[in-house]
Structure 1
Amino acid sequence: MKYLTILSLSVLIACQPNNQKDIPEEAVQAESIYNEPGHHSESLTKVMHAHGGYEQWSKMKSLSYMKGEESTITNLQNRKIRLESPKQTIGFDGEVVWVTPDTIDASRARFYHNLYFYFYAMPFVVGDPGAFYEDVEPRELSGKTYNGIKISYGENIGDAPDDNYILWYDPETNKMEWLMYTVTYRSGEPSNTYKLIKYDQWAEVNGLLLPTAIQWHQFKDDSVGEMSNKVRFEDIKITEEVPSDSLFVMPVDAQIAPLNVGKG
Protein backbone atom coordinates (compact mmCIF):
# COMPACT_ATOMS: atom_id res chain seq x y z
CA MET A 1 0.00 0.00 0.00
CA LYS A 2 1.07 3.55 -0.40
CA TYR A 3 1.44 5.45 2.84
CA LEU A 4 0.47 2.18 4.46
CA THR A 5 1.14 -1.49 4.17
CA ILE A 6 -0.96 -4.59 4.84
CA LEU A 7 -0.37 -7.10 7.58
CA SER A 8 -2.10 -9.20 10.12
CA LEU A 9 -3.06 -7.54 13.39
CA SER A 10 -0.59 -6.96 16.22
CA VAL A 11 -1.26 -5.98 19.83
CA LEU A 12 0.09 -2.50 20.64
CA ILE A 13 1.34 -0.46 23.67
CA ALA A 14 1.68 3.03 25.22
CA CYS A 15 4.89 4.83 26.07
CA GLN A 16 5.53 8.56 26.28
CA PRO A 17 8.06 10.04 23.83
CA ASN A 18 10.70 12.60 24.71
CA ASN A 19 9.51 16.16 24.75
CA GLN A 20 10.24 18.34 21.77
CA LYS A 21 9.07 21.82 20.83
CA ASP A 22 6.13 21.85 18.48
CA ILE A 23 6.88 22.58 14.86
CA PRO A 24 5.13 25.80 13.74
CA GLU A 25 1.94 25.24 11.78
CA GLU A 26 3.49 26.91 8.72
CA ALA A 27 6.28 24.33 8.69
CA VAL A 28 3.84 21.44 8.99
CA GLN A 29 1.75 22.79 6.13
CA ALA A 30 4.88 23.12 4.01
CA GLU A 31 5.45 19.36 4.42
CA SER A 32 1.92 18.54 3.22
CA ILE A 33 1.56 15.44 1.06
CA TYR A 34 -1.42 16.99 -0.75
CA ASN A 35 -1.33 18.56 -4.16
CA GLU A 36 -4.08 20.28 -6.10
CA PRO A 37 -7.34 18.27 -6.23
CA GLY A 38 -7.47 18.68 -10.01
CA HIS A 39 -5.40 15.53 -10.48
CA HIS A 40 -8.37 13.34 -9.50
CA SER A 41 -10.61 11.68 -12.05
CA GLU A 42 -14.15 12.96 -12.53
CA SER A 43 -15.59 9.80 -10.98
CA LEU A 44 -13.39 9.98 -7.88
CA THR A 45 -14.22 13.67 -7.46
CA LYS A 46 -17.94 12.74 -7.39
CA VAL A 47 -17.35 10.09 -4.73
CA MET A 48 -15.28 12.47 -2.59
CA HIS A 49 -17.97 15.12 -2.92
CA ALA A 50 -20.55 12.65 -1.61
CA HIS A 51 -18.33 12.18 1.45
CA GLY A 52 -17.81 15.88 2.14
CA GLY A 53 -15.33 16.85 -0.55
CA TYR A 54 -11.56 16.66 -0.98
CA GLU A 55 -11.27 20.38 -0.32
CA GLN A 56 -12.73 19.91 3.17
CA TRP A 57 -10.54 16.86 3.77
CA SER A 58 -7.44 18.79 2.73
CA LYS A 59 -8.13 21.46 5.38
CA MET A 60 -7.91 18.90 8.16
CA LYS A 61 -4.65 18.57 10.11
CA SER A 62 -5.44 15.89 12.72
CA LEU A 63 -7.41 12.64 12.75
CA SER A 64 -7.82 10.49 15.85
CA TYR A 65 -9.98 7.53 16.84
CA MET A 66 -10.16 4.53 19.16
CA LYS A 67 -10.16 0.97 17.83
CA GLY A 68 -10.82 -1.21 20.82
CA GLU A 69 -8.10 -0.39 23.37
CA GLU A 70 -5.87 1.10 20.68
CA SER A 71 -5.76 4.87 20.10
CA THR A 72 -4.48 6.41 16.88
CA ILE A 73 -3.60 10.00 16.05
CA THR A 74 -2.36 11.08 12.62
CA ASN A 75 -1.01 14.35 11.27
CA LEU A 76 -2.95 14.38 8.02
CA GLN A 77 -0.60 16.81 6.32
CA ASN A 78 2.57 14.73 6.61
CA ARG A 79 1.15 11.33 7.72
CA LYS A 80 3.14 11.07 10.92
CA ILE A 81 1.24 8.69 13.18
CA ARG A 82 1.15 7.32 16.72
CA LEU A 83 -0.70 4.22 17.92
CA GLU A 84 -0.97 3.35 21.61
CA SER A 85 -2.36 0.27 23.31
CA PRO A 86 -1.80 -1.46 26.66
CA LYS A 87 1.38 -3.28 25.56
CA GLN A 88 3.26 -1.06 23.13
CA THR A 89 3.44 2.16 21.15
CA ILE A 90 4.14 2.40 17.45
CA GLY A 91 5.02 5.67 15.75
CA PHE A 92 6.15 7.10 12.43
CA ASP A 93 8.24 10.27 12.70
CA GLY A 94 8.37 11.01 8.98
CA GLU A 95 11.46 8.91 8.40
CA VAL A 96 11.28 5.66 10.37
CA VAL A 97 8.66 3.49 12.06
CA TRP A 98 9.59 3.01 15.72
CA VAL A 99 8.31 0.75 18.49
CA THR A 100 8.53 0.88 22.29
CA PRO A 101 9.55 -0.87 24.40
CA ASP A 102 12.64 -2.17 22.65
CA THR A 103 11.92 -5.69 23.93
CA ILE A 104 8.80 -6.00 21.73
CA ASP A 105 8.93 -7.94 18.45
CA ALA A 106 8.86 -5.10 15.90
CA SER A 107 8.93 -7.23 12.76
CA ARG A 108 5.32 -6.44 11.84
CA ALA A 109 5.19 -2.80 12.89
CA ARG A 110 6.16 -1.45 9.47
CA PHE A 111 3.16 -3.26 7.97
CA TYR A 112 0.79 -2.33 10.73
CA HIS A 113 1.60 1.27 11.60
CA ASN A 114 -0.94 2.86 9.25
CA LEU A 115 -2.90 -0.17 8.10
CA TYR A 116 -6.18 0.87 9.63
CA PHE A 117 -5.64 4.57 8.97
CA TYR A 118 -5.44 3.82 5.27
CA PHE A 119 -8.64 1.83 5.20
CA TYR A 120 -10.32 4.32 7.53
CA ALA A 121 -9.45 7.34 5.40
CA MET A 122 -11.14 5.99 2.26
CA PRO A 123 -12.09 7.41 -0.19
CA PHE A 124 -9.93 10.50 0.45
CA VAL A 125 -6.64 8.69 0.92
CA VAL A 126 -6.62 7.40 -2.65
CA GLY A 127 -6.51 11.06 -3.69
CA ASP A 128 -2.84 11.19 -2.68
CA PRO A 129 -0.27 12.22 -5.30
CA GLY A 130 1.14 9.44 -7.46
CA ALA A 131 -2.18 7.67 -8.00
CA PHE A 132 -3.70 6.78 -11.36
CA TYR A 133 -7.44 6.32 -11.88
CA GLU A 134 -9.40 4.17 -14.30
CA ASP A 135 -13.16 3.69 -14.48
CA VAL A 136 -14.02 -0.01 -14.68
CA GLU A 137 -17.13 -1.81 -15.80
CA PRO A 138 -20.00 -1.84 -13.26
CA ARG A 139 -20.36 -5.05 -11.31
CA GLU A 140 -22.77 -6.72 -8.94
CA LEU A 141 -21.86 -7.27 -5.30
CA SER A 142 -24.37 -8.94 -3.00
CA GLY A 143 -27.21 -8.35 -5.44
CA LYS A 144 -26.57 -4.67 -6.15
CA THR A 145 -24.76 -3.10 -9.11
CA TYR A 146 -21.98 -0.59 -8.42
CA ASN A 147 -19.77 1.71 -10.45
CA GLY A 148 -16.05 1.20 -9.94
CA ILE A 149 -12.77 3.11 -9.97
CA LYS A 150 -9.45 1.27 -10.14
CA ILE A 151 -6.56 2.97 -8.36
CA SER A 152 -2.93 2.10 -9.11
CA TYR A 153 0.35 3.83 -8.31
CA GLY A 154 3.55 4.93 -9.97
CA GLU A 155 6.90 3.34 -9.25
CA ASN A 156 8.49 4.07 -5.87
CA ILE A 157 5.24 5.36 -4.36
CA GLY A 158 5.23 4.06 -0.80
CA ASP A 159 6.32 0.63 0.43
CA ALA A 160 4.19 -1.40 -1.99
CA PRO A 161 3.65 0.44 -5.29
CA ASP A 162 2.24 -2.67 -6.99
CA ASP A 163 -0.85 -2.69 -4.77
CA ASN A 164 -4.13 -1.98 -6.55
CA TYR A 165 -7.55 -0.91 -5.29
CA ILE A 166 -11.00 -0.91 -6.80
CA LEU A 167 -13.45 1.42 -5.11
CA TRP A 168 -17.10 0.51 -5.68
CA TYR A 169 -19.74 3.20 -5.23
CA ASP A 170 -23.51 3.56 -5.43
CA PRO A 171 -24.39 4.99 -8.89
CA GLU A 172 -27.24 7.06 -7.41
CA THR A 173 -25.68 8.50 -4.25
CA ASN A 174 -22.00 8.24 -5.31
CA LYS A 175 -21.18 6.99 -1.81
CA MET A 176 -18.48 4.37 -1.44
CA GLU A 177 -19.77 0.95 -0.33
CA TRP A 178 -17.04 -1.62 -1.11
CA LEU A 179 -13.27 -1.73 -1.50
CA MET A 180 -11.25 -4.43 -3.22
CA TYR A 181 -7.49 -4.44 -2.69
CA THR A 182 -4.45 -6.56 -3.40
CA VAL A 183 -1.63 -7.25 -0.95
CA THR A 184 1.99 -7.20 -2.17
CA TYR A 185 4.00 -5.78 0.73
CA ARG A 186 5.55 -8.95 2.16
CA SER A 187 6.12 -10.76 -1.15
CA GLY A 188 7.12 -7.71 -3.17
CA GLU A 189 5.33 -9.35 -6.12
CA PRO A 190 2.19 -8.08 -7.91
CA SER A 191 -1.01 -9.97 -7.15
CA ASN A 192 -4.34 -10.49 -8.90
CA THR A 193 -6.03 -11.81 -5.75
CA TYR A 194 -8.36 -9.24 -4.22
CA LYS A 195 -9.57 -8.93 -0.66
CA LEU A 196 -12.90 -7.24 0.04
CA ILE A 197 -14.13 -4.69 2.60
CA LYS A 198 -17.71 -3.48 3.09
CA TYR A 199 -18.37 0.16 4.03
CA ASP A 200 -21.93 0.78 5.18
CA GLN A 201 -21.71 2.53 8.56
CA TRP A 202 -20.85 6.24 8.49
CA ALA A 203 -20.91 9.32 10.69
CA GLU A 204 -20.60 12.98 9.71
CA VAL A 205 -17.65 14.53 11.55
CA ASN A 206 -16.63 18.13 10.84
CA GLY A 207 -18.31 18.09 7.44
CA LEU A 208 -16.87 14.73 6.35
CA LEU A 209 -18.54 11.34 6.10
CA LEU A 210 -16.24 8.92 7.95
CA PRO A 211 -16.71 5.21 8.72
CA THR A 212 -17.68 4.01 12.20
CA ALA A 213 -17.10 0.39 11.21
CA ILE A 214 -15.69 -1.63 8.32
CA GLN A 215 -16.10 -5.34 7.68
CA TRP A 216 -14.07 -7.84 5.69
CA HIS A 217 -15.90 -10.45 3.63
CA GLN A 218 -14.71 -13.70 2.16
CA PHE A 219 -14.23 -13.27 -1.57
CA LYS A 220 -13.65 -16.33 -3.70
CA ASP A 221 -14.50 -17.25 -7.29
CA ASP A 222 -15.63 -13.66 -7.83
CA SER A 223 -18.37 -14.09 -5.22
CA VAL A 224 -19.02 -12.24 -1.93
CA GLY A 225 -19.06 -14.60 1.03
CA GLU A 226 -19.66 -14.37 4.76
CA MET A 227 -18.24 -11.58 6.91
CA SER A 228 -14.84 -12.65 8.27
CA ASN A 229 -13.90 -9.66 10.43
CA LYS A 230 -15.42 -6.39 11.65
CA VAL A 231 -13.62 -3.40 13.15
CA ARG A 232 -15.36 -0.54 14.93
CA PHE A 233 -14.07 3.03 15.38
CA GLU A 234 -15.07 5.28 18.27
CA ASP A 235 -14.27 8.72 19.68
CA ILE A 236 -13.60 9.98 16.15
CA LYS A 237 -12.13 13.47 15.84
CA ILE A 238 -10.93 15.29 12.73
CA THR A 239 -9.88 18.93 13.09
CA GLU A 240 -7.85 21.77 11.61
CA GLU A 241 -5.67 21.84 14.72
CA VAL A 242 -2.12 20.62 14.12
CA PRO A 243 -1.17 17.77 16.51
CA SER A 244 1.96 18.30 18.59
CA ASP A 245 5.00 17.02 16.74
CA SER A 246 6.38 15.70 20.02
CA LEU A 247 3.84 12.87 19.78
CA PHE A 248 5.71 11.35 16.87
CA VAL A 249 9.32 11.74 18.02
CA MET A 250 11.12 8.42 18.55
CA PRO A 251 11.78 7.85 22.28
CA VAL A 252 15.27 6.97 23.49
CA ASP A 253 14.11 3.45 24.46
CA ALA A 254 12.52 2.72 21.07
CA GLN A 255 13.65 0.38 18.31
CA ILE A 256 13.34 0.98 14.57
CA ALA A 257 10.97 -1.39 12.78
CA PRO A 258 12.56 -3.29 9.91
CA LEU A 259 11.39 -3.00 6.31
CA ASN A 260 10.26 -6.50 5.40
CA VAL A 261 9.39 -6.19 1.72
CA GLY A 262 10.16 -9.44 -0.06
CA LYS A 263 10.80 -11.31 3.17
CA GLY A 264 7.67 -13.42 3.38
Structure 2
Amino acid sequence: MLFGAVLSPAFAQTQEMPESATAVMEAHGGMDLWKSLGGLVFQKGDGEEAETHITNLWDRRIRVENSKYTIGFDGTDVWVSPADAEMRGSARFYHNLYFYFYAMPFVLGDPGIYYEEVPDLELMGKTYGGVKISYAPNVGDSPDDNYILYYDKATHQMEWLMYTVTYRGGGPSDKYSLIKYGDWQDVPTGGASVRLPKSITWYNYEDGVVGDARGGAEFPMVSVSAEPPLDSRFARPEDSRIDPKN
Protein backbone atom coordinates (compact mmCIF):
# COMPACT_ATOMS: atom_id res chain seq x y z
CA MET A 1 0.00 0.00 0.00
CA LEU A 2 1.18 3.51 -0.83
CA PHE A 3 0.28 4.93 2.56
CA GLY A 4 2.51 2.60 4.51
CA ALA A 5 5.47 2.92 2.16
CA VAL A 6 8.74 4.63 3.03
CA LEU A 7 9.09 7.50 0.58
CA SER A 8 12.37 8.07 -1.21
CA PRO A 9 14.24 11.40 -0.88
CA ALA A 10 12.54 12.46 -4.14
CA PHE A 11 9.29 12.53 -2.15
CA ALA A 12 10.59 14.38 0.91
CA GLN A 13 8.22 16.33 3.16
CA THR A 14 8.43 20.11 2.88
CA GLN A 15 6.51 23.21 3.97
CA GLU A 16 7.12 24.80 0.57
CA MET A 17 4.35 24.07 -1.91
CA PRO A 18 5.81 21.85 -4.67
CA GLU A 19 5.47 22.83 -8.32
CA SER A 20 2.88 20.12 -8.90
CA ALA A 21 0.58 21.56 -6.22
CA THR A 22 1.15 25.10 -7.48
CA ALA A 23 0.12 23.94 -10.96
CA VAL A 24 -3.09 22.48 -9.51
CA MET A 25 -3.88 25.80 -7.82
CA GLU A 26 -3.26 27.66 -11.08
CA ALA A 27 -5.57 25.30 -12.96
CA HIS A 28 -8.33 26.33 -10.53
CA GLY A 29 -7.70 30.08 -10.70
CA GLY A 30 -4.55 30.51 -8.64
CA MET A 31 -3.75 31.12 -4.97
CA ASP A 32 -3.29 34.87 -5.48
CA LEU A 33 -6.88 35.20 -6.69
CA TRP A 34 -8.18 32.95 -3.91
CA LYS A 35 -6.36 34.94 -1.23
CA SER A 36 -7.86 38.17 -2.58
CA LEU A 37 -11.37 36.93 -1.77
CA GLY A 38 -13.11 37.67 1.51
CA GLY A 39 -16.36 35.73 1.25
CA LEU A 40 -17.66 32.38 0.03
CA VAL A 41 -21.32 31.31 0.04
CA PHE A 42 -22.48 27.96 -1.30
CA GLN A 43 -25.61 25.84 -1.08
CA LYS A 44 -25.42 22.11 -0.41
CA GLY A 45 -28.41 20.11 -1.57
CA ASP A 46 -31.87 21.48 -2.29
CA GLY A 47 -35.44 21.40 -1.02
CA GLU A 48 -35.93 20.53 2.64
CA GLU A 49 -32.36 19.19 2.83
CA ALA A 50 -30.74 22.40 1.56
CA GLU A 51 -27.98 24.00 3.60
CA THR A 52 -26.38 27.40 3.06
CA HIS A 53 -22.71 27.66 4.07
CA ILE A 54 -21.33 31.18 4.59
CA THR A 55 -17.61 31.65 5.21
CA ASN A 56 -15.34 34.58 6.00
CA LEU A 57 -12.28 33.48 4.04
CA TRP A 58 -9.97 35.82 5.94
CA ASP A 59 -10.50 34.32 9.39
CA ARG A 60 -12.63 31.20 8.64
CA ARG A 61 -15.64 32.19 10.68
CA ILE A 62 -18.54 30.12 9.37
CA ARG A 63 -22.33 29.99 9.44
CA VAL A 64 -24.32 26.94 8.29
CA GLU A 65 -28.08 27.37 7.92
CA ASN A 66 -30.77 24.78 7.28
CA SER A 67 -34.50 24.51 7.93
CA LYS A 68 -34.03 23.08 11.44
CA TYR A 69 -31.10 24.93 13.02
CA THR A 70 -28.11 27.17 12.44
CA ILE A 71 -24.49 26.37 13.29
CA GLY A 72 -21.95 29.16 13.64
CA PHE A 73 -18.29 29.66 14.45
CA ASP A 74 -17.59 33.13 15.85
CA GLY A 75 -13.83 32.76 15.87
CA THR A 76 -13.76 31.18 19.34
CA ASP A 77 -16.77 28.94 19.87
CA VAL A 78 -19.00 26.79 17.71
CA TRP A 79 -22.64 27.47 18.57
CA VAL A 80 -25.98 25.91 17.65
CA SER A 81 -29.27 27.81 17.50
CA PRO A 82 -31.90 27.29 18.77
CA ALA A 83 -30.35 25.99 21.96
CA ASP A 84 -32.64 22.95 22.07
CA ALA A 85 -32.09 21.99 18.42
CA GLU A 86 -31.53 18.29 17.85
CA MET A 87 -28.78 17.29 15.45
CA ARG A 88 -26.86 14.14 14.71
CA GLY A 89 -23.18 14.21 15.55
CA SER A 90 -20.97 17.07 16.63
CA ALA A 91 -21.61 20.62 15.46
CA ARG A 92 -17.95 21.43 16.00
CA PHE A 93 -16.91 18.59 13.70
CA TYR A 94 -19.52 19.49 11.09
CA HIS A 95 -19.29 23.30 11.01
CA ASN A 96 -16.38 23.46 8.55
CA LEU A 97 -16.47 19.92 7.15
CA TYR A 98 -18.07 20.82 3.85
CA PHE A 99 -16.09 24.03 3.58
CA TYR A 100 -12.95 21.88 3.43
CA PHE A 101 -14.45 19.52 0.87
CA TYR A 102 -15.88 22.38 -1.19
CA ALA A 103 -12.92 24.77 -1.14
CA MET A 104 -10.49 22.18 -2.47
CA PRO A 105 -7.82 22.55 -3.69
CA PHE A 106 -7.33 26.05 -2.23
CA VAL A 107 -7.54 25.06 1.46
CA LEU A 108 -4.45 22.94 0.88
CA GLY A 109 -2.52 26.20 0.65
CA ASP A 110 -3.27 27.13 4.27
CA PRO A 111 -0.50 27.92 6.78
CA GLY A 112 0.89 25.07 8.89
CA ILE A 113 0.83 22.49 6.10
CA TYR A 114 3.48 19.97 5.06
CA TYR A 115 3.61 18.66 1.49
CA GLU A 116 4.85 15.37 0.06
CA GLU A 117 4.80 14.46 -3.59
CA VAL A 118 3.67 10.83 -3.74
CA PRO A 119 3.95 8.19 -6.47
CA ASP A 120 1.40 8.22 -9.28
CA LEU A 121 -1.73 6.18 -8.59
CA GLU A 122 -4.16 4.47 -10.96
CA LEU A 123 -7.82 5.01 -10.11
CA MET A 124 -10.58 3.55 -12.30
CA GLY A 125 -8.19 2.96 -15.19
CA LYS A 126 -6.45 6.35 -15.25
CA THR A 127 -3.11 7.33 -13.73
CA TYR A 128 -2.97 10.48 -11.61
CA GLY A 129 -0.22 12.54 -10.02
CA GLY A 130 -0.49 13.05 -6.27
CA VAL A 131 0.44 15.38 -3.43
CA LYS A 132 0.02 14.44 0.23
CA ILE A 133 -0.84 17.11 2.78
CA SER A 134 -0.41 16.85 6.53
CA TYR A 135 -0.53 19.41 9.33
CA ALA A 136 1.89 20.76 11.88
CA PRO A 137 1.07 19.87 15.52
CA ASN A 138 -1.73 21.87 17.15
CA VAL A 139 -3.11 23.17 13.84
CA GLY A 140 -6.92 23.08 14.14
CA ASP A 141 -9.00 20.48 15.96
CA SER A 142 -7.61 17.55 13.92
CA PRO A 143 -3.90 18.06 13.22
CA ASP A 144 -3.44 14.32 12.60
CA ASP A 145 -5.69 14.42 9.52
CA ASN A 146 -4.02 13.66 6.18
CA TYR A 147 -5.13 14.46 2.64
CA ILE A 148 -3.86 13.18 -0.70
CA LEU A 149 -4.90 15.20 -3.73
CA TYR A 150 -4.77 13.42 -7.09
CA TYR A 151 -4.78 15.48 -10.27
CA ASP A 152 -4.98 15.05 -14.04
CA LYS A 153 -1.36 15.02 -15.19
CA ALA A 154 -2.17 16.86 -18.44
CA THR A 155 -4.47 19.62 -17.16
CA HIS A 156 -3.50 19.63 -13.45
CA GLN A 157 -7.18 19.80 -12.56
CA MET A 158 -7.97 18.11 -9.26
CA GLU A 159 -9.86 14.83 -9.73
CA TRP A 160 -9.74 12.82 -6.48
CA LEU A 161 -9.25 13.39 -2.77
CA MET A 162 -8.21 10.79 -0.21
CA TYR A 163 -8.50 11.80 3.43
CA THR A 164 -8.41 10.45 6.96
CA VAL A 165 -10.68 11.48 9.82
CA THR A 166 -9.18 11.69 13.30
CA TYR A 167 -11.43 14.19 15.10
CA ARG A 168 -11.66 13.01 18.74
CA GLY A 169 -10.14 9.80 17.48
CA GLY A 170 -7.07 9.78 19.68
CA GLY A 171 -4.36 9.74 17.01
CA PRO A 172 -3.44 9.29 13.37
CA SER A 173 -5.38 6.90 11.14
CA ASP A 174 -4.26 4.94 8.08
CA LYS A 175 -7.84 4.41 6.83
CA TYR A 176 -8.50 6.67 3.85
CA SER A 177 -11.85 7.72 2.43
CA LEU A 178 -12.13 8.58 -1.27
CA ILE A 179 -13.99 11.42 -3.04
CA LYS A 180 -14.30 11.97 -6.80
CA TYR A 181 -14.33 15.56 -8.03
CA GLY A 182 -15.69 15.14 -11.52
CA ASP A 183 -17.89 18.17 -12.08
CA TRP A 184 -16.50 21.70 -11.83
CA GLN A 185 -17.80 25.23 -12.38
CA ASP A 186 -15.94 28.49 -12.98
CA VAL A 187 -17.22 31.06 -10.48
CA PRO A 188 -16.68 34.64 -11.69
CA THR A 189 -15.02 37.30 -9.59
CA GLY A 190 -13.69 40.65 -10.78
CA GLY A 191 -13.04 39.64 -14.38
CA ALA A 192 -11.43 36.32 -13.40
CA SER A 193 -12.83 33.08 -11.99
CA VAL A 194 -12.11 30.35 -9.47
CA ARG A 195 -12.95 26.73 -10.29
CA LEU A 196 -15.07 25.11 -7.59
CA PRO A 197 -17.06 21.85 -7.57
CA LYS A 198 -20.66 21.40 -8.70
CA SER A 199 -20.79 17.98 -7.07
CA ILE A 200 -18.65 15.41 -5.28
CA THR A 201 -19.09 11.64 -4.95
CA TRP A 202 -17.77 9.28 -2.29
CA TYR A 203 -16.55 5.84 -3.34
CA ASN A 204 -15.83 2.73 -1.35
CA TYR A 205 -12.08 2.18 -1.27
CA GLU A 206 -10.21 -0.73 0.26
CA ASP A 207 -6.82 -2.34 -0.37
CA GLY A 208 -6.16 -0.01 -3.28
CA VAL A 209 -9.39 -0.92 -5.09
CA VAL A 210 -12.13 1.60 -5.94
CA GLY A 211 -15.57 0.15 -5.26
CA ASP A 212 -19.08 1.42 -5.82
CA ALA A 213 -20.25 4.99 -5.30
CA ARG A 214 -21.71 5.39 -1.81
CA GLY A 215 -23.23 8.86 -1.77
CA GLY A 216 -22.48 12.40 -2.74
CA ALA A 217 -23.33 16.07 -2.48
CA GLU A 218 -24.45 18.64 -5.01
CA PHE A 219 -23.84 22.37 -4.82
CA PRO A 220 -26.45 24.19 -6.92
CA MET A 221 -25.45 27.72 -5.89
CA VAL A 222 -22.14 29.44 -5.16
CA SER A 223 -20.85 32.99 -5.03
CA VAL A 224 -17.58 34.60 -3.99
CA SER A 225 -16.90 38.20 -3.01
CA ALA A 226 -13.94 40.48 -2.43
CA GLU A 227 -15.36 41.57 0.93
CA PRO A 228 -16.17 39.17 3.77
CA PRO A 229 -19.73 38.71 5.08
CA LEU A 230 -20.94 41.01 7.85
CA ASP A 231 -19.61 40.18 11.32
CA SER A 232 -23.20 39.88 12.55
CA ARG A 233 -23.65 36.71 10.48
CA PHE A 234 -21.29 34.84 12.81
CA ALA A 235 -22.21 36.36 16.19
CA ARG A 236 -23.73 33.93 18.67
CA PRO A 237 -27.46 34.59 19.19
CA GLU A 238 -29.10 34.54 22.61
CA ASP A 239 -31.06 31.35 21.94
CA SER A 240 -28.06 29.10 21.35
CA ARG A 241 -25.70 26.63 22.97
CA ILE A 242 -21.95 26.16 22.63
CA ASP A 243 -20.76 22.84 21.25
CA PRO A 244 -17.73 21.75 23.30
CA LYS A 245 -14.34 20.92 21.81
CA ASN A 246 -14.14 17.59 23.62
With normalisation by structure 1, the TM-score equals: 0.82
1:186 deviates by 2.6
Tell me if 1:89 matches 2:70: yes
Return the letter of the residue paired with 1:213: S
1:93 deviates by 0.3
1:65 deviates by 1.1
Contact 1:83-1:113 at 8 Å conserved across structures: yes
Alignment of 1:111-260 (within 5 A): 111-206=93-188, 207-260=193-246
> How many angstroms apart in 2 are the aligned matches of 1:205 and 1:39?
27
Indicate the RMSD between aligned Cα atoms, in angstroms: 1.2
Instruction: Report the equivalent of 1:29.
Output: none
3-state SS of 1:160 partner: coil
Report percent identity of matched pairs: 54
Instruction: Report the equivalent of 2:6.
Output: none
Instruction: Report the equivalent of 1:22.
Output: none
3-state SS of 1:186 partner: coil
Contact 2:203-2:212 at 8 Å conserved across structures: yes
1:241 deviates by 2.3
3-state SS of 1:49 partner: helix
> How many angstroms apart in 1 are the aligned matches of 2:44 and 2:133?
26
> How many angstroms apart in 1 are the aligned matches of 2:237 and 2:16?
38
Instruction: Report the equivalent of 1:78.
Output: 59
> How many angstroms apart in 2 are the aligned matches of 1:251 and 1:103?
13
CA offset digits 1:80-134 (Å, max 9, x no partner)? 0101111000000000000011112465100100110100000000100000001
Instruction: Report the equivalent of 1:58.
Output: 35
1:188 deviates by 2.2
1:184 deviates by 0.6
Tell me if 1:48 matches 2:25: yes
Return the letter of the residue paired with 2:213: M
3-state SS of 1:45 partner: helix
1:258 deviates by 1.4
3-state SS of 1:190 partner: coil
Contact 1:160-1:188 at 8 Å conserved across structures: no
1:39 deviates by 4.0
Alignment of 1:17-36 (within 5 A): none
> How many angstroms apart in 1 are the aligned matches of 2:157 and 2:228?
28
Return the letter of the residue paired with 2:106: F
Contact 2:16-2:115 at 8 Å conserved across structures: no
3-state SS of 2:59 partner: coil
> How many angstroms apart in 2 are the aligned matches of 1:122 and 1:53?
12
3-state SS of 2:24 partner: helix
Q: Quick check: which one's strand share is greater? A: 2
With normalisation by structure 2, the TM-score equals: 0.88
> How many angstroms apart in 2 are the aligned matches of 1:242 and 1:121?
16
**Per chain length, whose mean CA-contact separation is higher, i.e. which structure has more relative contact order (CA < 8 Å, sep 6+)?**
1
> How many angstroms apart in 2 are the aligned matches of 1:85 and 1:216?
22
> How many angstroms apart in 2 are the aligned matches of 1:186 and 1:178?
25
Return the letter of the residue paired with 1:250: R
CA offset digits 1:23-62 (Å, max 9, x no partner)? xxxxxxxxxxxxxxx9422211110000010000011111
Contact 1:182-1:195 at 8 Å conserved across structures: yes
CA offset digits 1:143-179 (Å, max 9, x no partner)? 0000000001110000010110100001100010000
